[in-house]
Structure 1
């Protein structure tokens, strides 16, 4: 993969923007970044580290016409040792998806600890009718053992009357089998990397879920069976923007919410969550219309 600095430099050059003009675009989205910070990031003299800087990078991806994770996925863990000795242990799948066991047996899904996460990037599109329409995901992962060829992805809907979403693989991977539990609404899909990974090799994989019509959605969250050094989530609303938006975290489905904070949408009707060193569990955004 290219370096963050090289990718940012190429994107800025391709867009034909000066750093001052780039700052103006970011300011219009409610993000303030100094010219020197942008210059340092572009040349590789420094990297975004604080969560406020990560938020700015997510907005940069939009300004420069890049997909979710186009820049943030290149940051990787701040400390490789931290990714090898996570602060929080793995969570069993059933703690996050109680109905997952039948699919686990049918697919013979690989153990979750075969893959370490470097970063996860979600982008959710909510339409004018307040319904989720499209979820794009980019995952950067490292093989913990030799011979890693796939990982599992999960999505669980709260709208049980709606038809299941369409799952499709993107760059650097291909889709395998997909199963939907009609009772719980849990979708489990296999995602195959474009090559067999040796221990320590890193790969990026992209996939998306396209949703049929359903009820208005009131939030989105990511369930992590293992820690993620970097997580970003961007929700793009249509013409209707929620009255209030909050971020939150939970240890598991039964645990109380913590780290609850108010978030603000940009003038273009989007909200961004960016976090480092996210432990296994649940992190997400909810809103009130």
Structure 2
């Protein structure tokens, strides 16, 4: 997994589980918030995400699910409007087992060295487990950029064990700012940080996340953690490197008053490949930009901006 949630939300008590559906979670959250669908639609429109009242009703009662990228952005904003932890709703949108298994057979894992060419010595030292021990239901990132520098990265992911006895997984973060000290882990939930190794010559940080229980095949863990960054040079982009297909990926980048002039999203097959599917992304009035994608292939998904 690569490193390359809306803070302050109240605890809704909604945790992704096998019996929880997107419709039931949304219905409970709307009822708890005491909002009408019209009022909810107005909140979304004010955030630059227009959604019809009928679409909200269909989602709430399970008659349809968000599927297009614009709809996924609306769900991401719904979590904020309803005061839910990031990923509460979006993590329930992953495809079912009947869709996910064939896709993963068609699109195998990507070798770590194609995304982190210098990672092998650190992986050997930490005895990193095979990447195929877990599959992702969803990955959610939120990056806070202040004074044009990375300040904080919040990550929430939902992972499923593919074999019995899974106890840990690895996280990776890499920077081009080799003069900056490595970030530190903070605010870890539903797991703990194990061993951490850095490769300062390549700007690489590798951390071990130890689950709060041993997972049997098919069991799911929803973990959250943060990376806090020391001061460094201005950043002009952020990306996630995925060694496996991922049903749902979302990313929010939040800027302070130093907002960029333009923001673009892009994809790459690996570090050596050219960028593709480059699209301009709208920056909201609150200086945030949101990226959402379903059925993401192994590779790189990211944003870049110009100050």
TM norm structure 2:
0.90
Contact 1:229–1:278 (Cα < 8 Å) also in 2: yes
Provide the residue aligned with 2:236 in structure 1. Answer: 218
The structure-2 alpha-carbon separation of the partners of 1:210 and 1:80, relative to structure 1 and needing over 3 Å to count, comes to farther
Matched, 1:119 2:141: no
Contact 1:83–1:118 (Cα < 8 Å) also in 2: no
5+ residue gaps, structure 2: 1-16
- Output the CA distance in 2 between the equivalents of 1:81 and 1:10: 27
Matched pairs, number = 288
For the aligned residues, what is the CA RMSD? 1.5
Provide the residue aligned with 1:186 in structure 2. Answer: 204
Contact 1:137–1:207 (Cα < 8 Å) also in 2: yes
The structure-2 alpha-carbon separation of the partners of 1:272 and 1:83, relative to structure 1 and needing over 3 Å to count, comes to farther
- Output the CA distance in 1 between the equivalents of 2:131 and 2:191: 18
5+ residue gaps, structure 1: none
Contact 1:19–1:39 (Cα < 8 Å) also in 2: yes
Provide the residue aligned with 2:39 in structure 1. Answer: 21
Provide the residue aligned with 1:145 in structure 2. Answer: 163
Contact 1:246–1:261 (Cα < 8 Å) also in 2: yes
- Output the CA distance in 2 between the equivalents of 1:239 and 1:227: 35
Contact 1:40–1:46 (Cα < 8 Å) also in 2: yes
The superposition leaves residues 160-197 of structure 1 with CA deviations (integer Å, 9 ceiling, x where unpaired) of: 11111111353221111111111111110111122211
- Output the CA distance in 2 between the equivalents of 1:108 and 1:272: 35
Provide the residue aligned with 1:70 in structure 2. Answer: 88
Using the TM superposition, give the Cα deviation of residue 70 of structure 1 relative to its aligned residue in structure 2, in angstroms. 2.2
Provide the residue aligned with 1:132 in structure 2. Answer: 150
- Output the CA distance in 1 between the equivalents of 2:265 and 2:97: 25
Contact 1:120–1:137 (Cα < 8 Å) also in 2: yes
The superposition leaves residues 232-277 of structure 1 with CA deviations (integer Å, 9 ceiling, x where unpaired) of: 1111111122111111111110001111111001111111111111
Instruction: Please give the residue correspondences for 1:196-211 in structure 2 after superposition, counting only pairs within 5 Å.
Output: 196-211=214-229
- Output the CA distance in 1 between the equivalents of 2:257 and 2:85: 21
Which of 113, 133, 143 is the aligned partner of 1:94?
A: 113
Deviates more, 1:133-142 or 1:6-15: 6-15
Contact 1:83–1:116 (Cα < 8 Å) also in 2: no
Contact 1:150–1:191 (Cα < 8 Å) also in 2: yes
Matched, 1:278 2:296: yes
Provide the residue aligned with 1:235 in structure 2. Answer: 253
Provide the residue aligned with 1:7 in structure 2. Answer: 25
Structure 2 SS opposite 1:81 = helix
Which of 257, 282, 296 is the aligned partner of 1:264?
A: 282
Provide the residue aligned with 1:35 in structure 2. Answer: 53
Which of 245, 263, 288 is the aligned partner of 2:263?
A: 245
The superposition leaves residues 178-229 of structure 1 with CA deviations (integer Å, 9 ceiling, x where unpaired) of: 1111111111011112221111222211111011111111110000011111
Contact 1:222–1:282 (Cα < 8 Å) also in 2: yes
Provide the residue aligned with 2:127 in structure 1. Answer: 108
